[in-house]
């Protein structure tokens, strides 16, 4: 083999959780190797199938016995760019106030809006960076970040710019979602329609024009926006050629999951109150169910999403942190996976699918989420004996190293 034809990196003596659908749990291959060239995987299979001696095949060879390699984890639902925090609200909830009561009294999302509007772009980046780093330190290589704490053109723009800058600073892929319909800003009290018009007709087109928007999201909820308002936004997004997703049925059933399915949406997220009919609509549309056990846990919710119905109808399930200052200050996707097992009874394999291949689908990405030739070389190497350990350990640091598009992640 000529030097030019050699792969860049080859990891040998590892286990691979390919997450391919080949019948084996986790698509697992023991005693395996994975090699890549530039940003693409060229080999992911048994050691015995390597087409030569490792050092003849790749420039850099590492033997890592006792490790498992998974696709890099994908956090497909976060609100990690925001100013301040809401620790006081946490204390109020412990004293008995509910999330909705706090929101209706002018706290909640709106208090994060005040802090976010007050922070300049660099300050917002400074505050958000440690949160993104925490996710990366636990194996994340792609993450989604929503706007929604600005709720005015400049502040929403600033949030999305910070999301993009985080990706550049950290060398990872950040996918952005515009969440202008997150809460009604106080200055629009009594003028809902004017705010919805501002979001749909001014903010969305101009932010999309600046290429700051990869997808469009809304909070369809009693304390958020109605079915009709969400529909108006989705019509506009569709006209602009942008995919949609939705915070649906977290606290009540406003028919959001069926609505986003009707638009062929990427995902419906939360889903504690989702009806059987909506599950069928999601299955027909291929809309992913994104489960957010961090918010369920923090709000002491008692009604889990209909996981059996998702399984029965073949709705793909993803798992995400929902990292946000109010309902899910959760800085580890691996912990979200563990919670999905303990609180929602996913199997550890379903949870790992939910943070890899199904999370990629929830973001409309087909080039990652499995370990296979041609896929992006996004991988996480774990110091674990059994893959269930990824969900079993509560906290701790199991990650040995991670790679994004073939480059080692340095934190």
Using CB under 6 A as the binding rule, whether residue 324 contacts ligand DI6 is answered as yes
> Residue 306 or residue 326: which is nearer to ligand DI6 going by CB?
326
Query: Going residue by residue from 282 to 301, which x/- string records binding to ligand DI6, judged by CB under 6 A?
Result: -------------x------
Question: Looking at 66-74, 131-139, 317-325, 379-387, which segment touches ligand DI6 (CB under 6 A)?
Answer: 317-325
- Does residue 327 interact with ligand DI6 by CB under 6 A? yes
Given 247, 353, 361, 376, the residue binding ligand DI6 (CB under 6 A)? 247
d(CA 344, CA 291): 9
Partner whose binding site includes residue 356, from Fe ion, ligand DI6, none (CB under 5 to 8 Å by kind): none
Helices (H), 138-275: 153-170, 192-197, 204-209, 227-239, 256-262
Q: Which of residues 118-177 bind ligand DI6 (CB under 6 A)?
A: none
Which of 325, 338, 354, 406 is in the footprint of ligand DI6 by CB under 6 A? Answer: 325
Q: State the number of binding residues for ligand DI6 (CB under 6 A).
A: 15
DSSP tally for the chain: helices H, then strands E? 17, 16
Angle at 400 between CA 363 and CA 408, to 5 degrees: 60
322 near Fe ion (CB under 5 A): yes
CB closer to ligand DI6, 36 vs 99? 99
Which C-beta is closer to Fe ion: that of 127 or that of 250?
Answer: 250
Beta carbon of residue 22, minimum distance to ligand DI6 (angstroms, whole number): 35
The answer to whether 217 contacts Fe ion (rule: CB under 5 A) is: no
| 296-332 as b/e: b if 16+ CB within 10 A | bbbbebeebbbbebbeebebbbbbbbbbbbbbbbbbb
Task: Give every CB contact of residue 20 below 8 A, 6+ residues apart in sequence.
Answer: 27, 370, 371, 372
| Total length of the chain | 411
Task: Mention every residue, 6+ apart, whose C-beta is less than 8 A from residue 83.
Answer: 112, 115, 116, 117, 118, 119, 123, 124, 127, 149
- Is 401 a residue that touches Fe ion (CB under 5 A)? no
For residues 30 and 222, which CB has a smaller minimum distance to ligand DI6 in the complex? 222
- Sign for the pseudo-dihedral over CA of 252, 257, 262, 266: positive
Which partner from the list ligand DI6, Fe ion, none does 293 bind, CB cut-off 5 to 8 Å by kind? none
Of 109 and 371, CB closest to ligand DI6: 109
Q: Beta partners for 17?
A: 28
Write down the H helix ranges in 3-76: 54-57
Among ligand DI6, Fe ion, none, partner that 382 touches (CB below 5 to 8 angstroms by kind): none
Residue 301 lies near Fe ion (rule: CB under 5 A): no
Residue from the set 7, 36, 43, 219 that interacts with ligand DI6 by CB under 6 A: 219
Range in contact with Fe ion (rule: CB under 5 A) among 32-40, 205-213, 322-330, 388-396: 322-330
Closest Cα partner for 160 from 216, 81, 244, 84?
81
Contact positions toward ligand DI6, by CB under 6 A? 79, 108-109, 112, 182, 219, 247, 250, 295, 322, 324-328
């Amino acid at each position: 083999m000529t030097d030019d034809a050699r792969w860049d990196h080859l990891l040998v003596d590892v286990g691979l959780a390919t997450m391919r659908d080949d019948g084996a749990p986790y698509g697992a291959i023991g005693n395996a190797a994975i090699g890549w060239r530039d940003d693409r995987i060229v080999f992911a299979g048994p050691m015995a199938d390597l087409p030569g001696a490792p050092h003849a095949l790749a420039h850099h060879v590492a033997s890592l016995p006792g490790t498992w390699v998974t696709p890099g984890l994908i956090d497909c639902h976060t609100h990690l760019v925001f100013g301040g925090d809401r620790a006081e609200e946490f204390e109020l909830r412990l004293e008995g106030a509910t999330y909705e009561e706090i929101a209706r009294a002018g706290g909640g999302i709106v208090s994060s809006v005040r802090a976010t509007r007050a922070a300049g772009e660099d300050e917002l980046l400074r505050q958000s960076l440690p949160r993104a780093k925490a996710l990366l330190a636990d194996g994340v290589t792609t993450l989604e970040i929503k706007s929604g704490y600005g709720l005015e053109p400049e502040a929403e723009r600033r949030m999305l710019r910070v999301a993009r800058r985080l990706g550049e600073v950290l060398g990872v892929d950040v996918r952005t979602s515009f969440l202008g319909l997150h809460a009604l800003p106080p200055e629009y009290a009594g003028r809902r329609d004017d705010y919805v018009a501002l979001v749909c007709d001014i903010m969305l087109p101009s932010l999309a024009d600046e290429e700051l928007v990869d997808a469009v999201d809304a909070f369809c909820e009693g304390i958020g926006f109605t079915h009709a308002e969400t529909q108006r936004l989705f019509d506009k997004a569709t006209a602009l050629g942008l995919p949609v997703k939705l915070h649906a049925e977290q606290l009540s059933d406003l028919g959001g999951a069926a609505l986003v399915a009707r638009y062929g949406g990427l995902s419906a997220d939360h889903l504690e109150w989702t009806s059987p009919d909506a599950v069928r609509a999601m299955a027909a549309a291929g809309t992913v169910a994104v489960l957010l056990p961090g918010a369920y846990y923090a709000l002491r919710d008692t009604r889990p999403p209909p996981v059996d119905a998702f399984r029965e109808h073949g709705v793909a399930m993803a798992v995400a942190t929902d990292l946000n200052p109010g309902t899910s200050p959760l800085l580890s996707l691996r912990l979200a996976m563990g919670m999905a097992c303990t609180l929602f009874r996913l199997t550890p394999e379903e949870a790992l699918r939910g943070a890899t291949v199904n999370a990629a689908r929830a973001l409309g990405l087909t080039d990652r989420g499995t370990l296979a030739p041609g896929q992006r070389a996004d991988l996480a190497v774990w110091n674990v004996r059994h893959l269930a350990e990824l969900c079993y350990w509560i906290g701790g640091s199991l990650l040995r190293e991670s790679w994004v598009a073939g480059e080692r992640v340095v934190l």
